[in-house]
Every structure is written in C-alpha cells, then in structure tokens.
Structure 1
C-alpha cells in the first residue's frame, strides 16, 4: 500500500513516466488496473474512490495507490477520523462524537481505542518528522496527556511540512502520507528498537 496525492491525473502521469518507485525493491511501478470502487464517509457526505493499482516491473509485487484522503481499511476519510481524535482530545465522549459525525458509536470507539493504544509511538514518529522537516523545529511541549501530546506532535509535523514545501494541505493528508495510510492499522508504527 502506498499513499499518493489526490490528483488522479498527476498519479497517472507519474505511473506513465516511471516516476513511482516500489517500496520493496525500488523498481519502477507501472499501472495495473484498479482496486474495488467504494464510497467512504467524508466531512460533507459520501466520497466515491477507485484506488489505482500498480505493479513493480522489478519484483512483480502489486501495490494499491491509496489517496492521502484515506486510511487503510476505513470507511471514513482521514478528515472524519481526525475530527473524532480531536474531539476526544477536547474531552468529548465517543457517543457524542459518533452523533456529531453521523457514524456508529462502535466504529468511533474502535478508532479511539486504536489511536489510544499507540499514542506514545505516534508522538515519537511525528516528533521525528517535525524535526526532519523543519530547519529549526518548534517541538511541541507537554499538552497535558499522552493523547494530547500525540495530537500536538501530529499538528507540529503537519505545520513543518506545510512550511517546508510552501503548501497548504489538510493535516489528515500529512498523517496519511507519514503513516502510509496505516495510522489505525495493526503493526503501525513498526517497532525498530530506536528510542
């Protein structure tokens, strides 16, 4: 799974010109059809997506090119999930969040539990990205809880990204790109033994 920009024409051009590399062997990715069409819940209603598939010309592995709007195996966009995480940071309970976002309470509870189980790892990953992207990073200080610290680190990394590349993008797209769409997936971030 690779995360890609939201401009499908740009992704197609990068595939045609051989400018996408395989994450496994660094070979050139080529187009290989499409993944299953689906509709995911966005902030303003349903969003229909048909992710592009690619195949490495070297190792022959296939990869889905997931738009940075999405997280892996989630029926809501990163913006909707991010709104739930931010509301939890503000002390709102999962039932009220679910009501606000028009999502099932069990789904929202699952998002919150998965994120809550890895807040320290998320804080570490996004703090590292903040430091890598900014020449003089403004590291987030303690925000009052592990959860709030992780959300602050995510926000700081997104700001550093936007400043570094002089672009304005939603924070959820930076989160998807950094996590390769796996923010709430088992095994992310991988434990590397680095402190």
Structure 2
C-alpha cells in the first residue's frame, strides 16, 4: 500500500509518467485496476472512496494507492480521526464529548484514542525523525503534558515544517499523519520510519 494525493487525476498522471515507486523494490508502479469501493464518513457527510490499484513493473507486487484523506481500514476520513486526537491532546476532552461533537459512536472514538495512546511514543519518535529530515534547523516541539499530547504536537510541528520548506499555504495535520504513517496511524504496527509515501505534502 502506498499513500498518494487526493487528486485522482494527478495520481493517474503520475502513474502514466512512472513517478510512483514500489515500496518493496523501488520499481515503477503502473495502473492495475481498482480496489473495492466503499463509503468514507467525512466531516460533512459521506464520501465515495475507490482507491486505484497499481502493480510494480519490476517485482510484480500490487499495491493499493490510498489517498491522504483516508486511514487504512477506517470508515471515517482521516480529518475526522485526527480532529478527535487534537481535541484529546490540546483540550483534554473525554471520548464521550468528542463523540458527541463529531456525531460518531462513543465506542468508535474511544477506540481511536486508545489505539493512538498505545503507540504515542512510536508516533512521536517517527514524526520527530521526519521533522529533522525536512528542516535542517528545526524548532523541536517541547513537552505538551504527556505522551499522547507530545505525539500530536510532533505531527503538528512536521506539518508546519513541510509548509515552510515548500512554501505551501497550509499542510493539514491529517494529511501529514496519513502520508508519514502510510495510512497506518491507528493500524497494527503503527507508523514506521521506513514507510514509503507518495503524497503532495512534498511537491515534485
């Protein structure tokens, strides 16, 4: 699985131009049909998601191209999930209040918060490494009042650094979280420094 920008036309262009690379062997990815379509619950209603599938011309392995608007195996858009994390990290809001604000089941939101808390230190570490890679002289985020909040602050710091380096008007926390974690922010194994990401967070 490879993360890509949300613009389907741009993804097609990059596939045709051979600009997307296989995370297994760095071979060129080409279009290979489509993954199963599904509904994604966004901040303002349902979204249709039908990710492109690709196949490596070198090793033959297929990869789903997941847009930066989605997290792996989550029914809710990344923006919704990350908003819940920010509410918890910055305001200390409990899962029931967050669920009410987002109009989501309390059990679902509690699951997001628990899974993120379980891997908060790994998230903080990975995003801090990326921060140093993006910014030659980064302002490292200070303690935010606990591991959970520190991890969210690291995501935010990287989003700001990407925006500054590439002169982008705004880089969202959700897109940063998906791109760097390869969509696995809340999945088993969590984010990994070796994740291959192909998003528009870094233009090219």
The Cα shift of 1:190 comes to 4.5
Runs of at least 5 residues in structure 1 that lack an aligned partner in the other structure: none
Count, aligned residues? 192
User: Do structure 1's residue 43 and structure 2's residue 43 form an aligned pair?
Assistant: yes
CA distance in 1, matches of 2:164, 2:47: 29
| Larger RCO, structure (CA 8 Å, separation 6 or more) | 2
What do the CA deviations read for 1:56-93 (whole angstroms, capped 9, x no partner)?
Answer: 11111100000001110000111100111011111111
State the partner residue of 2:63. 63
State the partner residue of 2:114. 113
The Cα shift of 1:144 comes to 1.2
TM-score (norm: length of structure 2): 0.91
Alpha carbon RMSD of aligned pairs, Å?
1.3
State the partner residue of 1:170. 172
Is contact 2:2-2:66 (8 Å) kept?
A: yes
TM-score (norm: length of structure 1): 0.95
CA distance in 1, matches of 2:2, 2:193: 20
The Cα shift of 1:172 comes to 0.5
Superposition pairs of residues 120-139 of structure 1, within 5 angstroms? 120-139=121-140
The Cα shift of 1:150 comes to 0.9
What do the CA deviations read for 1:98-154 (whole angstroms, capped 9, x no partner)?
Answer: 111111111111100100001111111111111111121010011111111111111
CA distance in 1, matches of 2:186, 2:87: 17
State the partner residue of 2:101. 100
CA distance in 2, matches of 1:88, 1:57: 44
Runs of at least 5 residues in structure 2 that lack an aligned partner in the other structure: 195-204
User: Do structure 1's residue 183 and structure 2's residue 175 form an aligned pair?
Assistant: no
The Cα shift of 1:96 comes to 1.2
The Cα shift of 1:191 comes to 8.8
Aligned residue for 1:107, secondary structure, equals: helix
Aligned residue for 2:25, secondary structure, equals: coil
- Runs of 4+ with >4 A deviation: none
How has the CA–CA distance of structure 1 residues 23 and 191 changed in structure 2, closer, same or farther, with 3 Å as cutoff? closer
